[in-house]
Amino acid sequence: MTEEQSSKGERIAKVMARAGLCSRREAERWIEEGRVQVNGETLLSPALAVSDDHSVVVDGKPLPARDLVRVWRFHKPVGVLTTARDPEGRETIYDVLPRDMPRVMPVGRLDINSEGLLLLTNDGELKRQLELPQNGQKRRYRVRVHGRVSEAALASLKKGVTVEGVRYGPIEAFIQKQTGANSWLIFTLTEGKNREIRNVCGHLGLQVNRLIRQVYGDFSLGAIPKGGLVEVTQQQLFAAAGVGLKPKESWAKPKRKFIKPKQKPRPRVRDADAANSDSRDSRAKTGKPGATSNVKKGHSSANSWRKTSRPKT
């Protein structure tokens, strides 16, 4: 099957990733290995767009229907690898996650000595969009370093820095607190290159002895304990989906915001006595029931409510 035969639809690798089978790169590798068939023909190139009219089979099984997009916040502990398997037999995130978890993929990575927020999703396309640097997903880290550092040195990182031939983009950093020989720093960046914070700190003469990711995009670690897992609600996911994805019908729609209508300004009143007097006079002129004037001859309006006294004989 050629690409001309299917000019409409989405790329096959993208469709496979959204079905939760694998990432885009893995899908392309599976296709090159001859594991994917479209309309009964083995696919040899990922340069093909497919639609709902096509029959896609992977490893002899029909492509599953696209699942509901889901995201989890996971507190990755130190000593755990962000990978599916390790040749050395070290513990991975999949050894820590619950047994009944569906197939999920990590968004970005945290090295074995780092801890904190790690997003997990069953949607390969969402994973890719959250990872792309051009989408500007901010990552915030709380970092403990050995050594003293000046605010001026951290401020210089706003323009980016080159370390051993690798160019790192703008980084916002400031000192949170300094205790003895250690300092707690806050780093905010959007690229997230491999070991970026550790390399930049080394460039400043600092040694990182603890690194905690607190925020990734619109998602935060919060109070999740180490090894804990919390699923993001569909409302939160919909609100945070400004990453190039079209809203899904299966996502919960955001609540409508009701704006209180503006009230008409009240007329200015000269004073309370004058306002009450004018109101009673206007009701008396209308002739409506209950609109008779309470003002009696020879008495002021202020004393009209009092009973008149009989003159002495």
pLDDT, tens digit (0-9, with 9 covering 90-100), for 108-150 = 899 999 999 999 998 888 888 888 888 888 999 999 999 888 8
Say which of 53, 95, 111, 271 is annotated catalytic. 111
SS in 3 state form for 173-193? EEEEEEECCEEEEEEEECCCC
| Selected residue with higher pLDDT from 142 and 255 | 142
Q: Out of 30-44, 120-134, 244-258, pick the least confident.
A: 244-258
What pLDDT score does 44 carry?
A: 86
Beta-sheet pairing, 182-189 with 172-179: antiparallel
Q: Which of 120, 132, 111 is nearest to 191 (CA)?
A: 132
Q: Which residues contact 295 (CB under 8 A, 6 or more apart)?
A: 280, 281, 284, 301, 304
Q: Out of 40-44, 150-154, 237-241, pick the least confident.
A: 237-241
**87 burial type by CB count under 10 A (0-12 exposed, 13-18 middle, 19+ buried):** exposed
Per DSSP, the three-state class of 51 is coil
What pLDDT score does 111 carry?
A: 93
CA dihedral sign, ordered 222, 243, 108, 57: positive
User: Is the separation of the CB atoms in 55 and 1 below 8 Å?
Assistant: no
Torsional class of 164: left (φ above 0), alpha (ψ -120 to 50), beta (otherwise): left
238 pLDDT higher than 90: no
For the chain, give the percent of residues with pLDDT over 90: 45
8 pLDDT higher than 80: no
For the chain, give the percent of residues with pLDDT over 70: 74
The class that CATH gives domain 3-62 is: alpha beta
Per DSSP, the three-state class of 219 is strand
Quick check: is 273 catalytic? no
What pLDDT score does 30 carry?
A: 93
- Split at pLDDT 50, 70, 90, the class of 17 is confident
What pLDDT score does 102 carry?
A: 86
- Count other Cβ atoms within 10 Å, centred on residue 219: 20
Give 80's Cβ-side CA count (13 Å radius): 20
For the stretch 2-29, what's the b/e string if a residue is b when 16 or more beta carbons lie within 10 angstroms of its beta carbon?
eeeebeeeebbbbbbbbbbbbbbeebbe
Summarize the confidence of residues 162-191 as an average pLDDT. 93
pTM tops 0.75: no
Q: Which of 116, 118, 114 is nearest to 105 (CA)?
A: 118
What is the rounded distance in angstroms from the CA atom of residue 151 to the CA atom of residue 175?
Answer: 7
The class that CATH gives domain 71-239 is: alpha beta
Most confident of 2-11, 23-32, 121-130, 207-216: 207-216
312 pLDDT higher than 70: no
Query: pLDDT (tens digit, 9 = 90+) per residue, 262-288?
Result: 444 555 555 555 555 555 555 555 555
Query: pLDDT (tens digit, 9 = 90+) per residue, 39-62?
Result: 999 998 888 898 888 899 999 999
For the chain, the average pLDDT equals: 79
What is the rounded distance in angstroms from the CA atom of residue 118 to the CA atom of residue 120?
Answer: 7
Q: Domain map of the chain by residue range?
A: 3-62, 71-239
Q: Which residues contact 238 (CB under 8 A, 6 or more apart)?
A: 247, 251, 252, 253, 254
105 pLDDT higher than 50: yes
Residue matched to tokens 């099984």? 61
What is the rounded distance in angstroms from the CA atom of residue 57 to the CA atom of residue 226?
Answer: 39
- Split at pLDDT 50, 70, 90, the class of 256 is very low
What pLDDT score does 180 carry?
A: 86
What pLDDT score does 3 carry?
A: 43
Angle between helices 24-32 and 124-131 (to 10 degrees): 120
Query: pLDDT (tens digit, 9 = 90+) per residue, 66-89?
Result: 778 889 999 999 999 999 889 999
